[in-house]
Amino acid sequence: MTDTTASDQLEQIRNGYSFEGAAVELGAAVIDDTAHADAPVRLPISMMNRHGLVAGATGTGKTKTLQLMAEQLSAAGVPVFLADVKGDVSGIASPGEGGEKIEARAKDVGEQWEATGFPTEFLSLGGQGKGVPIRATITSFGPTLLSKVLGLNDTQESSLGLVFHYADKRGLSLLDLKDLTAVIKFLTSDEGKADLKGLGGLSASTAGVILRNLIAFSDQGADAFFGEPEFETKDLTRTTDDGKGVVTCLELPGVQDKPALFSTFLMWLLADLFHELPEVGDADKPKLVFFFDEAHLLFSDASNAFLQSIEQTVKLIRSKGVGIFFVTQTPKDVPNDVLSQLGNRVQHALRAFTPDDAKALKATVQTFPTSDYDLDKLLTSLGTGEAVVTVLSEKGAPTPVAWTRMRAPLSLMAPSPEATIDGIVAKSPLAPKYSEAVDRESAYEMLNKKLASAPEETDEKQASAQAAPKEKAEPKKKDEPSMVEQVVKSSAFKSLMRSAGTVVGREITRSIFGVAKRR
């Protein structure tokens, strides 16, 4: 590359990343391995609800990039959600530790580095790990997400949807796993076989498979994740008294062996946010930016229905002011229909050790706009803390591709001390709301009452039949009650009506992912 060409390229980058509004400062443009602090690479905060991708091989700096972005969003008053799978993002709550490397990087990219901690809330799934425990009810989680967790195929997923439909129609609250297990056991029992037959598309064998998967899932300790009090996703959109966005860090090391569960739980949070937040259109800054780490776990072995629901969520949630950034190793981890919705890209180094790696590299290069860089070579030679960046300008057009030397985070680039996390959790305003689990009457108790009363009703019927004189059977009359009338007048239906109480007959409204809308 000649000096003139390099100069022209640098000017192009300078102009392309010169924005009028607030922006996240990512780093400095690099030409011929030299960083140019006078050519900052930035990401407009107003465009962060256009979603994005942070990708790169292990150890290339992805986690520090999302930490850097989260810090600046918080400082700008934008709440942030981070899924901390490996336990190394918690450092955002503590001021960073300087040193020669930090000072050298700051000088190289023109950064005014000052150790800073940011307002952080720590959550944990069902209390497994450090953080305020959060839960979801089975009813609101819905059949599509639960099918992903249980590893059901398309047919079984459809059948589970019928079970939810049955429970919704009959007011059987599905709050935890034992509730759903009780409903399926009832449908496959002698007492419930008539109801099972009435569901049409649900066979006894399929119900049995779902039941076995549920029991195995429960045996793995998954009971802790489902129940009440259910987490209210509006608690993710808080700001502090001085106007900083709260960084909510979901600590997940305790459930690393359940990747399908935590990745699916994150999609439940997004779907619930979509239901709860009002339309805001194009605002100066997002209501929330959601970083989805280890995103490949979400898409692995996902059904077509599940993938379509993700695509729909990504498309529509932008209008609610929510930005989603998927963090993974290569763009091929994200389905094309979802990838096409991601306007902002931060691509760290890729490896090309195998033929599959080479294919992934070629596919990644093809997704970038045309540039003067040799991306095939550059993407395999980037240093730690460097990335190839292209984002959407304030006008919605892609910016020039820029080899970027990233800034260093101001917070701690290691896990926060346990004492710090414990102190934050103990003082959390959410702790009184979510710490104690609640187990109110739901489908499990309702059906147990129904089954307990069934023998008494049977004995009464038999006694009445023996006491009554036998009469000659009369031919059927034409005005014999319809099947619906017979069901409504049956003792089984009346018993179910009594046990379900005031909620019987109210079908739950479901939307994306089959997630229940709150009333």
- Strands of 80-84's sheet, edge to edge? 34-44, 23-31, 402-406, 386-390, 344-347, 52-55, 322-328, 288-292, 80-84, 247-251, 120-125, 132-134
The structural domains of the chain, ordered by start, are: 10-134+235-260+269-417 (3.40.50.300), 138-225+437-458+481-514 (no CATH)
pLDDT above 70 for 507:
no
DSSP string across 492-512: HHHHHHHHHGGGTT-PPPB-G
Say which residues have a Cβ less than 8 Å from residue 301's Cβ, sequence separation at least 6: 151
pLDDT above 80 for 497:
no
Burial class (CB in 10 A: 0-12, 13-18, 19+), 268: buried
516 vs 435, higher pLDDT: 435
**Rounded to whole angstroms, how far apart are CA atoms 83 and 450?**
42
pLDDT at position 467 is: 52
pLDDT at position 517 is: 63
108 vs 306, higher pLDDT: 108
514 token code pair: 């089959």
Cα-flanking dihedrals φ and ψ of residue 250, to 5°?
Answer: -85, 110
**Rounded to whole angstroms, how far apart are CA atoms 268 and 393?**
30
Answer whether 130's CB lies under 8 Å from 124's CB.
yes
Task: Please write the tens of the pLDDT for every residue from 389-403.
Answer: 999 999 999 999 999
pLDDT at position 2 is: 44
For the residues 114-125, what does the mean pLDDT come to? 96
pLDDT at position 472 is: 45
pLDDT above 80 for 502:
no
Q: Where are the beta strands (DSSP E) in 331-370?
A: 344-347
pLDDT above 50 for 406:
yes
State the pairing for strand pair 120-125/322-328.
unpaired
Cβ-defined contacts of 454-460 (< 8 Å, 24+): 454/191, 454/492, 454/495, 457/491, 457/495
Say which residues have a Cβ less than 8 Å from residue 248's Cβ, sequence separation at least 6: 79, 80, 81, 82, 120, 121, 123, 235, 236
Q: Which amino acid is at 462?
A: Q
Task: Please write the tens of the pLDDT for every residue from 143-180.
Answer: 988 998 898 988 899 999 999 999 988 889 999 999 99
Task: Please write the tens of the pLDDT for every residue from 264-282.
Answer: 888 899 889 988 899 987 7
